[in-house]
Amino acid sequence: MSASLLFSFVIGYFLLLLVVAWVTSRNSNNDSFFIGNRNSNWMLVAFGMVGTSLSGVTFVSVPGTVGDFAGNVHKGFAYFQVVIGYFIGYLVVAFVLLPLYYKMNLTSIYNYLQKRFGTIAYKTGALFFIISRTVGATARLFLVIFVLQEFILKNFGVPFVVTALIILVMILLYTFEGGVKTIVYTDTLQTTLMLVGLVATVVFILNNLHISVGDAMRTLTEKGYTTIFNTDPKSGGFFLKQIIGGAFITISMFGLDQEMMQKNISVKNLKDSQKNMITFNLVSAGVNFLFLLLGGLLYLYALNHGAEYAQATNAAGATTHQFMVNNQNVMGDALFPTMALQMMPQAISIIFIIALISALFPSADGALTALTSSFCIDILGLKRRTDLTEKQQKKLRLTVHLSFTVIFLVCIMIFYTIGSRSIIDKILDLAGYTYGPLLGLFAFGILSKRSLPQTIAITIICLVAPVLCYFIKQYSVQIFGGYQVGIELLIINGLLTYLGLLSISKKAEALQQ
């Protein structure tokens, strides 16, 4: 497949986004950027959020996990355990958190912490969101940029850092003016193209192998690719851990995340916002299952075209599994790009590239916009600045927006230096550390009636909890007799934060005297 042809489609796609951005950002102001003038259509928000929540990580990484190994058996559809948890978590967001945000008429959800506990808790919550979203968004961006670099731009001799810079400038250009008002529409377009790519690839493989979906599921089951539930209580992938952990990840990474909630609270009213959440929840679960089915089909397609499993020894002397295609190990994140761009017809290669960049932009544009919003509103207090005109506020916002673009570039280069075979595992791990303090802060505010003193101890507790979690995870096998801490790390982190806040709290009446 010609790299020049693929690159021309990338450029054409970007020009389309610029046209959409130009149309939607006309007559926009700061409220358009931050909350879309609270006038977004709930159906567009729901559909567009599918692309935002799935991102390029789901598009590339989830299919690759199906044939990967957990010990000596395939992981199969084990990721769906987490998806079940997501489903539960979205219901909590819809019927617990959204009513709270609408009742308080929030622009930034972290204003809840200010009204409940005061400025220090508020700034601490906003700070952890900024850290969490920056790390998560750049990890997702890294994966897709890496694919574009390896399969397209490397052929032109373009260094990785230049590829990353080009992509970030593209995102910056079409989010610079309109913010949320623009990305509600661009996300809808991007989600459509991503899902078209997913369905087209599934249909092509089924036709190529001359099998139906039922035949495919039977074959995948025979090969051990469809196992969902892990019943080993000591394993990090134990099904109860995965389901409960998935629910809390959704509550934290979605319900306590300004990027995702910024789109939800841009909807006209609570009822429509809840419709948006329920619709999104159902569609998202179905799409995730389709990605797992695609993963199984990709392995079947590869095996049918000469691929084979092999074993190797890593630097530490341990035996590892490999999936060899044309003498390349393509297990994990490399599977889908390699199959689509090297072993499938040109039409599928083009569809894959368009779908891949469609998966890239929704997670990146929303993150950049939400981080700008949170920093301006929560850290700089832009909404409370009566000394600045609308024009001065806009200039400050654009400066912050540009600054976060530079920070994104630095973080992407760090991920490039570290490298990873399956970035989705890294993202879930990082979420456990960075979202835990947010979970603890909001849980303490919602579940208790106690108050917190205005002290830096709040921030210290939120910083210490993730550090303790790091040591718990590192030494859990030795400390707990073989028990491995997995996705439940987020819950442990939130609980430690909650207990720390409880230790410095006072009864509300006593604090007010």
Please state the rounded mean pLDDT for residues 277-281: 86
Q: Where are the domains of the chain?
A: 3-426
Is the pLDDT score of 513 beyond 80? no
Give alpha helix (H) positions in 95-179.
Answer: 98-103, 111-117, 119-151, 160-175
pLDDT digits (tens, 9 = 90+) for 374-416: 788 888 887 677 777 778 887 888 888 889 999 999 999 988 8
pLDDT digits (tens, 9 = 90+) for 86-100: 999 999 999 999 999
pLDDT tier at 109, thresholds 50, 70, 90: confident
Fold of 3-426: Sodium/glucose cotransporter (1.20.1730)
Is the pLDDT score of 290 beyond 50? yes
Is the pLDDT score of 310 beyond 90? no
- DSSP secondary structure string for all residues of 217-265: HHHHHHTT--------TTSTT-HHHHHHHHHHHHIIIIIT-HHHHHHHT
pLDDT digits (tens, 9 = 90+) for 207-245: 999 999 999 999 999 988 999 998 888 887 889 999 998
pLDDT digits (tens, 9 = 90+) for 449-503: 999 999 999 999 999 999 999 999 988 888 888 888 888 899 999 999 999 999 9
Q: CA dihedral defined by 246, 194, 169, 252, rounded to 10 degrees?
A: -10
pLDDT digits (tens, 9 = 90+) for 39-66: 556 566 666 666 666 666 778 888 988 9
Q: What is the pTM of this model?
A: 0.80
Q: List CB contacts of 23: < 8 A, sequence separation 6 or more.
A: none
419 vs 501: CA distance, rounded Å: 36
pLDDT digits (tens, 9 = 90+) for 413-459: 988 887 655 666 777 788 889 999 999 999 999 999 999 999 999 99
pLDDT tier at 33, thresholds 50, 70, 90: very low
* Range with lowest mean pLDDT among 76-80, 102-106, 218-222, 455-459: 102-106
pLDDT at 32: 45
pLDDT at 36: 44
In the chain, what percentage of residues exceed pLDDT 90? Answer: 34
Q: What is the 3-state secondary structure (H, E, C) of 368-431?
A: HHHHHHHHHHHHCCHHHCCCCCHHHHHHHHHHHHHHHHHHHHHHHHHHHHHCCCCHHHHHHHHH
pLDDT digits (tens, 9 = 90+) for 119-140: 999 999 989 988 988 888 888 8
pLDDT at 20: 73
Q: List CB contacts of 202: < 8 A, sequence separation 6 or more.
A: 290, 293, 294, 297
